[in-house]
Structure 1
Amino acid sequence: MAAATASSPLNLLGFNRKPIFHCKLSSPRCRPTFLMPPGRVPSNSIARTGRTFSNPPSYVLTCLVIPPPPKRQKPKAIIQFIGGAFIGAVPEVTYSYLLEMLAMEGYLVICVPYNVTFDHAEITRRVSERFSSCLDSILGSGLPDLGLSALEVSDLPLYSVGHSNGALLQTLTGSYFSERIPKANVIISYNNRPASEAVPYFKQLGLVVSQMLPVAATFPVNSVVEVASGNAWKLLLDTAETVVPNYDLKAFGSFMTRFTDQLPLIINELAEGISEFKPTPPENLESIRELYNVQSTLLVKFDSDTIDETDQLEETLKPRIETFGGKLEKAVLSGNHITPCLQELRWEVGNVYTPADALGQVLKNVSVNDTRRLATTITNWLDLLSH
């Protein structure tokens, strides 16, 4: 593992694999429903928004499912993926390269999109419910397109990978719940800062918003959002099409809509005078210190990440994990807070190879080297758990 330091010795060779999911096939919750939620983009459009997946992703209920390549007969395990605040709502765009790398290594990736609010406990509950509903749906009939039966899927170990705010939600999930929790967590760029530090001047902004609400109430907010996600984005989308040929403008516009759909929730909370996350950061740490119960944990931080709080989490987790004989490791990699979101540049060389083409090829490789290293670190560590 690149630049890894162990918080405690890891010996994963004796870890027994057991079925971790149980689902009555007669239960209505287990009946598969492969429906596209409102505003969702069909899977055949996803591949045209910057990445081409080796096996087309699809939505199962509200979760994005990315299967491993068709040549693999059975996935190694299931990875639940939770992205950062706001960007976690559109993982097929914001994390597409990293997610494809994980799937290419044989993992069945289930991404859980979510909308941001100040209530982290509520978000954690919603993410858990969405994931469970998606998993129950898959367990009801397996994955026919991959030739996997429900029994084969139920036997797969469950791991979780989260980034930034998603990393915080991982730790809270592992502290709030005792059933259907991951066998292992990969916690990337953990951040548990107060709202005043996450977004400065929250209190002042809340006061301004509350004063403006009587005026704002006279305007059709939904129409404004529609215009913002339509006409206002047109210039950006036209530019994207020029830079990246074959960009699916309709799909990308839908993604932008899902970004803006989160704004009313935040605005309403600010207007109500909410200026801090609930639970507070100290309360989150207390829950983790007393209740965290995930057997194996890998902490990942980047050497140029200025808002990372992985070291604080490590200090909190270490004594807790020692109480139940769990495992804790830490990896320090090159990169910054947005490294998991970097995408591979599409640079097509023209008829004449120019210095600009040479620079483009270099940038194409450099832009995702750290992301590739992250994916390799994750998959190598998870692979060890299965031996």
Structure 2
Amino acid sequence: MSWKEISGNWVLATKQKPLGIIHFLGGAFVATAPHVTYRLLLEALAEKGYIVIATPFVNTFDHDAIAQQVLLNFERAMIRLEERGILGNGYLPIYGIGHSMGCKLHLLVGSRFPKVERAGNIFISFNNYAARDAVPFIEQFNTAFTNSQLAVEFVPSPAQTNDLVREYYNVRRNLLIKFTSDTIDQSVGLSEILRERFNDMVTMQIIAGNHLTPLGQDVKWQAGRDFNPLDAIGQWFKQEVYRDLNLLKSIILLWLNPLLPPV
């Protein structure tokens, strides 16, 4: 398998008959190259039979505009894949997976565009902070313009986003994943809002890790000809780095398809 750029997306197509399609959106500032920053996670999903469409985006204050653009790019990729015969003839469920800001974008897609169908969404490390909390120095920027009453905020704001989800979000099946050492996670609040709409279809998992766990990168450690104590330390370190990421992979794959064998 190899990543291919298609209509502004990075696409990884499984060699086997696909089980479904995953639309992945990463976190702010690391979403410009998701096929690199989330490579291990996304390739693990593709190896289990899913077509992964990872849509890059550049963060701005207009999150509505970003959501609309990533959806447009995704739909363009779907057309190209269908033309190439990669999607096959049968029905393929489409799942959204988001990390950090990517979660908000999937929520906006599910709230702003009622004709968009998703079999389910997975929200990893959701956060919905105001601009002054999410962007360095923005509070000082606002203070400098208090006389003109200039206030910089994301569109929609955190409160507006919550209201949109309460009233319009239309994806029934949802998985929220929160890491124990993630200090900026707001998944609990989101789970309460989602359960107001689809109580029996919302699952929340709390697992070991932190906000950067989904970005776990490959750690190269080549053991010497004679395995020595330093090699043992290197192997232990590699296992520790991968442990939380592997658990994340397992939980996602089990939720997507409970019949799949474990990672």
Output the TM-score relative to the length of structure 1.
0.63
Structure number, greater radius of gyration: 1
- Per the TM alignment, residue 56 of structure 1 is displaced from its structure 2 partner at its CA by 1.1
- In the alignment, is the contact (CA less than 8 A) between 2:176 and 2:187 conserved in 1? yes
Q: CA deviation at 1:198?
A: 1.2
- How far the C-alpha of 1:196 sits from its partner, in A, is 1.1
Provide the alpha-carbon RMSD of the alignment: 2.0
1:305 corresponding residue in structure 2 = 182
Cα 1:385–1:175 shift into 2, 3 Å: farther
Q: Which residue number in structure 2 is paired with residue 364 of structure 1?
A: 238
Give the Å deviation of 1:352. 4.1
1:76-127 CA distances to partner (integer Å, 9 max, x unpaired)?
A: 1101111111101111111000011111111111101111101111111111
Identity score, percent: 38
**What one-letter code is carried by the residue in structure 2 that aligns with 1:62?**
G
Task: Report the counterpart of residue 278 of structure 1 in structure 2.
Answer: 155
1:238-387 map, 5 Å: 275-322=152-199, 327-384=201-258
Partner residue of 2:119 out of 176, 183, 186:
183
Q: Say if 1:319 and 1:186 are closer, same or farther in 2 by CA, change over 3 A.
A: same
Aligned to 1:88, the other structure's residue is in SS state coil
Q: How does 1:146-295 map to 2 (within 5 A)?
A: 149=88, 151-152=89-90, 155-205=91-141, 275-295=152-172
Residue aligning to 1:94: 37
SS at match of 2:185: coil
Provide the rounded CA distance (Å) in 2 between the counterparts of 1:132 and 1:182. 13
Verify the 8 A CA contact 1:293 1:321 in the aligned structure 2: no
Return the letter of the residue paired with 2:11.
Answer: V
Q: What amino acid is the match of 1:89?
A: T
After superposition, the Cα gap between the structure-2 partners of 1:131 and 1:60, relative to the gap in structure 1 and judged at 3 Å, is same
TM-score normalised per structure 2:
0.91
Contact preservation (8 Å) 2:109, 2:116:
no
| C-alpha spacing 1:181/1:358, structure 2 compared with 1 (3 Å) | same
Q: What is the match of residue 12 of structure 2? A: 66
Aligned residue for 2:51, secondary structure, equals strand
Pairing 1:57–2:18 present: no
Cα offset, 1:201, TM superposition? 2.9
Bigger mean CA deviation after superposition, 124-133 or 191-200: 191-200
Deviation at 1:189, TM superposition (A): 0.5
Paired residues of 1:173 and 1:181 also in contact (CA < 8 A): no
Partner AA of 2:256 in structure 1: L
Letter in 1 for 2:174: T
Q: Shift of residue 130 of structure 1? A: 0.7
- Uncovered stretches (5+) of structure 1, i.e. residues with no partner: 1-54, 211-272
Tell me by how many angstroms 1:199 deviates: 2.4
Q: Do the aligned residues in 2 keep the contact of 1:82 with 1:111 (CA within 8 Å)?
A: yes
Q: Deviations over 1:157-178 (max 9, x none)?
A: 1111110000111111111111
Distance change >3 Å, CA 299–CA 116, structure 1 → 2: same
The letter for the 2-side match of 1:67 is A
Deviation at 1:200, TM superposition (A): 4.0
Distance 2:228 2:143 in 1: 55
Selected match of 2:59 from 106, 116, 119: 116
CA contact (8 A) 1:79 1:107 kept: yes
1:61-87 C-alpha deviation (Å, 9 max, x unpaired): 11111122x3x2x01110111111110
Aligned to 1:238: none
- The SS at the match of 2:123 is strand
Per-residue deviation, 1:384: 3.6
Looking at structure 2, the residues matched to 385 and 329 of structure 1 have their Cα atoms a distance apart, in angstroms, of 18
Aligned length: 256
Supply the distance in 2 between the matched residues of 1:342 and 1:183 (Cα, whole angstroms): 27
Identify the residue that residue 141 of structure 1 maps to in structure 2: 84
Following TM superposition, by how much is the alpha carbon of 1:353 offset from its aligned partner in structure 2, in angstroms? Answer: 3.2
Secondary structure of 2:225 counterpart: coil
Deviations 1:360-386 (A, max 9, x none): 111111101111111110010110499
SS of the residue corresponding to residue 108 of structure 1 reads: strand
Note closer, same or farther for the CA distance 1:60–1:385 as it changes in structure 2 (3 Å cut): farther
Whether the 8 Å contact between 2:110 and 2:116 is mirrored in structure 1 is: no
